[in-house]
Amino acid sequence: MGMQSRPIATVVIPTHDHGPTLRWSVRSALAQTVTDLEVFIIGDGVPESGRRVIEELCAGDDRVRFFDHPKAGSRGETLRHQALAEARGTIVCYLSDDDLWLNDHVETIKSLLSTADFVSGFPVFRDTDGSLGGWIVDLCVPFYRQRILAGDNRIPLSCGAHTMTLYRRLPYGWRQTPPGTHTDLYMWQQILAMPELNTMTARQPTAMVFPSRTRFHLSPEQRAAELEGWWITMQKPDFRERLLSEVHSWNSRECVRLEVTGFRAAADAGVLSSLLQAERELVNDLKKQLNEGAGYADFLEREIAARGAYRQLLAGEIAARDDRIAGLAVELEQIRRSALWRAKNRLSGSWAAALGVRAARLLAGPDRRHGD
């Protein structure tokens, strides 16, 4: 089927080496209820095997266009920017080369973008065992926009979409992503940082994501077989009803999980509050002790200063006494060397001798005194 002069949507499918899965992802894009669209397959160093698949897809539908490039930096983000310079759609939808869209995805996104600038499909994924999971996000709620801006990626590439008018307003558009950051997240953060932005999220799933992080052990052929099986399942008349039932069950379980998590968080918050209060009391007690200790320290410093002054006083008195003693010693030595002191010593010795003779006579008694 030929394209109209101006398609409603430009579908961007970046690819590197997922040729086998690309066959099914592109097929889901071409099977949309909105048929006036163009599909841009943006090759980032596609190997020969993948190039053959893409050539078949281009030959089978003239809405498909291949942008063939050598491997660029990171995940070839700048190649997407180059391709969008040639986009003719009024809206841009993104699809991973290993995901699938339900046939009303573009129609749903188109309706949302009639009043919004950037939207997200309802994001669900399939585990390798076939079970369904998802991400909770609502771009109408500021909390979720802030979570994405903070680095919590809740919008897979296959669910993101925006108007071309918005893209032309962006400061950079697609650009090389810093290491350690998801490519799509980096783009969504740039968009959500824009002023005066209108955002919305779909209320029902229109895309299925098959995360690569849980499928590294599968070969490209095995991954393609998985997508083929789901593509066949998606064509069954009761598929949408069963999908909605799965989503409802998952959503109920998730609500219970979040509620339990909330209760636990509240309990943890109570424990933390008690611990924080105990910490505050301990800090206050330490501050009080420090204040008291500071007062005692001041007292000790004053006491030490007073004792130091007293020591200096005692040292002065001791020095003065030492000086007096030294003076007396000099004076005594001078006296000892004087003539008067020597005469005194001689007189003292004669007097003592005379006293000894007299004492001896007295001790002899009266008979000896009259014996002559």
Residue 285's alpha-carbon distances to 272, 281, 282, 293, 295, in angstroms, are: 20, 6, 5, 12, 15
Mean pLDDT of the chain: 85
Give me the mean pLDDT over the 29-50 stretch: 96
Residue 363 has pLDDT above 50, yes or no: yes
Q: How many CB atoms lie within 10 A of CB 275?
A: 10
In the prediction, which pLDDT does 358 show? 58
In the prediction, which pLDDT does 124 show? 96
Residue 368 has pLDDT above 60, yes or no: no
In the prediction, which pLDDT does 251 show? 87
Give me the mean pLDDT over the 86-104 stretch: 97
**C-alpha span between 130 and 117 (Å, rounded):** 33
Q: What is the pLDDT of residues 192-250, one digit of tens each?
A: 999 999 999 999 999 999 999 999 999 999 999 999 999 999 999 999 999 999 999 99
Residue 2 has pLDDT above 50, yes or no: no
Sign of the CA dihedral with 151 first, then 152, 154, and 158 last: positive
Out of 90-94, 126-130, 275-279, least confident range? 275-279
Q: What is the DSSP letter of 177?
A: P
The pair of three-digit structure tokens given for residue 311, joined into one six-digit string: 């020591």
**C-alpha span between 17 and 52 (Å, rounded):** 12
**C-alpha span between 99 and 24 (Å, rounded):** 8
Residue 121's alpha-carbon distances to 1, 60, 180, 229, 249, in angstroms, are: 27, 28, 25, 22, 19
**C-alpha span between 236 and 230 (Å, rounded):** 10
User: How would residue 370 be classed by pLDDT, with cut points 50, 70 and 90?
Assistant: very low
Q: What is the pLDDT of residues 249-261, one digit of tens each?
A: 998 888 878 767 7
- Choice between 33 and 334, residue whose per-residue pLDDT is larger: 33
User: How would residue 58 be classed by pLDDT, with cut points 50, 70 and 90?
Assistant: very high
**C-alpha span between 7 and 166 (Å, rounded):** 17
Residue 319 has pLDDT above 70, yes or no: yes
- Choice between 212 and 276, residue whose per-residue pLDDT is larger: 212
Percent of the chain past pLDDT 90, that is, above it, reads: 64
68-89: b (≥16 Cβ within 10 Å) or e? ebeebeebbbbbbbebbeebeb
Task: Specify whether the backbone of 52 is left (phi greater than 0), alpha (psi in -120 to 50) or beta.
Answer: alpha
In the prediction, which pLDDT does 276 show? 63
In the prediction, which pLDDT does 80 show? 97
- Choice between 137 and 353, residue whose per-residue pLDDT is larger: 137
| Paired strand residues for 49 | none
367 membership: H or E segment, kind and range: helix 366-369
User: How would residue 332 be classed by pLDDT, with cut points 50, 70 and 90?
Assistant: low
Q: What is the pLDDT of residues 110-122, one digit of tens each?
A: 999 999 999 999 9
**C-alpha span between 7 and 37 (Å, rounded):** 5
Q: What is the pLDDT of residues 156-191, one digit of tens each?
A: 999 999 999 999 999 999 999 999 999 999 999 999
Among 126, 128, 141, 159, smallest CA distance to 250 is for: 126
